[in-house]
Structure 1
Amino acid sequence: MAEVRAVVARAKGEPVEVTTIIVPDPGPGEAVVKVQTCGVCHTDLHYREGGINDEFPFLLGHEAAGVVESVGEGVTDIEPGDFVVLNWRAVCGACRACKRGRPWYCFNTHNAKQKMTLADGTELSPALGIGAFAEKTLVHSGQCTKVDPSARAAAVGLLGCGVMAGIGAAINTGNVGRGDSVAVIGCGGVGSGAVAGARLAGAAKIIAVDVDPRKLQWAQGFGATHSINAREVDDVVEAIKAVTDDFGADVVIDAVGRPETWKQAFYARDLAGTVVLVGVPTPDMTLEMPLIDFFSRGGSLKSSWYGDCLPSRDFPMLVDLYQQGRLDLDAFVTEEIPLDGVEDAFHKMHTGDVLRSVVVF
């Protein structure tokens, strides 16, 4: 058992606080990880705002990298000293998705069974089953993915959520291929990841769409060949078509997750093209469209969960590309901050000043 400092959200909408928590020794199938870095993701803010559920208090943080400190009984795939990126898809191997050979859809991912607590014994709900705004955290061993230990932790830790979601939306879900045209609507951390993924896949045209010139500039750095400021054009759909010989893009990725952006994605794709929704809508959002348009345009309408990634396959591969200089994960790290800087990072997220703030321990 260890006492460590951590960031906790005690109640809906209230500022987070740095406090002491208790991390138990790992039980069967579990591991304690000494966290080195953890990115500040919009999902953490959703937890604080009560947008995920109301199981307060939350131990926030989930885009993390660190070193395994200890493991519980039966753990054989990792050992103390391993450098790992944490993931929230610890595949079970036994659900219907896993049995059909599609573990990236695993419906029964593993989390640690024991609970981390406040000093008074109050049980904490770890964000996405991880809770890594903490000097140490308890996870299921399957949530630890070993990668090259010489890699920069602040950069590769971001594969734990947003960057992987974006890259995977392009490569895994969208199946972007060589020579394809791709449009990405919304170019924050996830959208910029989608741009980077499309570039890795060999897309010929990558069209970045946003209302913020800074984000469009970031997207160009990740490989966008064209940019569209949605505030400066009359019709985003027509602007995308103008870049694609009036046909529309082969793949359009909605990294915002609103009815209006999804409709733009739907109508901005070529006939038989693909729409990928990776931005997360709120439960109250609805969509009304002519059913004939779905039939007559053909193609695929997909939702991307965590970039449909398989951490054991994708994390080491992407870290290798990063180490080779072919994937600039460093560019996602806008600033490195201390543990008590998380609340301020949430404010910067609202103003669009950062791609990612990263807590460094």
Structure 2
Amino acid sequence: MIAPGKDEPVRVETIVVPDPGPGEAVVCIQACGVCHTDLHYGQGGISDDFPFLLGHEAAGVVESVGEGVTDVAPGDFVILNWRAVCGTCRACRRGRPWYCFDTHNARQRMTLAATGRELSPALGIGAFAEKTLVASGQCTKVDPSVSPAVAGLLGCGVMAGLGAAINTGNVGRGDSVAVIGCGGVGGAAIAGSHLAGAEKIIAVDIDDRKLATAKELGATHTVNSRESDPVEAIRELTGGFGSDVVIEAVGRPETYKQAFYARDLAGTVVLVGVPTPEMKLELPFLDVFARGGALKSSWYGDCLPSRDFPMLIDLHLQGRLPLDKFVTETIALDEIDKAFERMLYGDVLRSVVVL
């Protein structure tokens, strides 16, 4: 599925996938989630390096590998990721590879069969296709008994939310957590908080449908912020103090301020919603100092795919992490435009393309 130019309709094209070179792998895609980031690519909101090969929340089977690849082999069932750590940058050398500043992608480019024009794969993956070429480090081997439609969601949005709670927010047993914005990422933050043993999980959204789903994912309380002030509601539900951790999964200054004031003294705010370039945030500087605690941003849930993906798949297979609840519908490749529309209207947590 190609985005040929800014705001142009996406379309199915035949592409050429080269044989894998050194450090590369070709993966046969079985399922790929439809993420808001793909829509941003098509709108020109990421870059203008058109045409884009969209899709990145994917799982499939390795078909072939290039010279020097030892971490995966043909026949392995893998989840694709956009954090293939380098092992040598300053973050990796300090033992923090989840912050890797020099992640790998395939060096070769896939091309359009009709014209030979090079494609830009979304997040270095490009998985709305029968096959894609990636760096071998972008492949994380997991238990093949899991549904590909479920597994692929860890490749981006669901991992971002789970990691925002578990990795970035360090949610622990007995904590109180509030999550503002209960789409796919916020819902995953709720599921992650529940998995981590949070005692009170407060879901905040303007859509009662999303709040109902949040309850299924582990929320103990819900707040419709169209009907009541979320800061006051969160404080009332936490003895007047505010939550230990507040996760902002919208990416707007207004909701970030709500998160800032809805946390307890010395509490933690985690921003996992993605702002747009023109947005500005203004806070009283004294309040930043006086309230203490931590203000964090969560990149990809601060995940390390080789560590987190297999563990989370195992938890799902044990019945402890309901990843299947994030799959609202499965669709064909030529239905992606309709899935983008449903996403904008808030009708789905995730549409998943099954190939």
Percent of aligned pairs with the same residue? 77
Q: 1:187 aligns with which of 178, 182, 185?
A: 182
What is residue 289 of structure 2 aligned with on the other side?
295
Q: Structure 1: which 4+ aligned runs deviate by more than 2 Å?
A: none
Q: 2:146 aligns with which of 151, 159, 179?
A: 151
Q: 1:166 aligns with which of 154, 157, 161?
A: 161
What is the SS of the residue equivalent to 2:92?
Answer: helix
1:172-211, aligned counterparts within 5 Å?
Answer: 172-211=167-206
Matched, 1:23 2:23: no
**Deviation, structure 1 residue 289:** 1.4
Q: What CA distance in whole angstroms lies between the structure 1 residues aligned with 2:148 and 2:238?
A: 38
- Deviations along 1:77-102, one digit per CA (max 9) or x if unpaired, are 10000000000000000000000000
Q: 1:220 aligns with which of 215, 221, 230?
A: 215
Q: Which amino acid aligns with 1:149?
A: P
Q: Which amino acid aligns with 2:163?
A: G
Q: 1:72 aligns with which of 66, 76, 90?
A: 66
Q: What CA distance in whole angstroms lies between the structure 1 residues aligned with 2:156 and 2:32?
A: 10
Q: What CA distance in whole angstroms lies between the structure 2 residues aligned with 1:289 and 1:312?
A: 38
**Deviation, structure 1 residue 250:** 0.2
What is the SS of the residue equivalent to 1:18?
Answer: coil
1:211-360, aligned counterparts within 5 Å?
Answer: 211-233=206-228, 235-360=229-354
- Deviations along 1:172-200, one digit per CA (max 9) or x if unpaired, are 00000100000000000000000000001
Q: What CA distance in whole angstroms lies between the structure 2 residues aligned with 1:354 and 1:290?
A: 37
1:100-119, aligned counterparts within 5 Å?
Answer: 100-119=94-113
Q: What CA distance in whole angstroms lies between the structure 1 residues aligned with 2:68 and 2:84?
A: 16
- Deviations along 1:156-186, one digit per CA (max 9) or x if unpaired, are 1100000000000000000001000000000
> Unaligned regions of 5+ residues in structure 1, if any?
1-6
Over aligned residues, Cα RMSD in angstroms? 0.4
TM-score calculated relative to the size of structure 1: 0.98
What is residue 34 of structure 2 aligned with on the other side?
40
Q: What CA distance in whole angstroms lies between the structure 1 residues aligned with 2:7 and 2:14?
A: 21
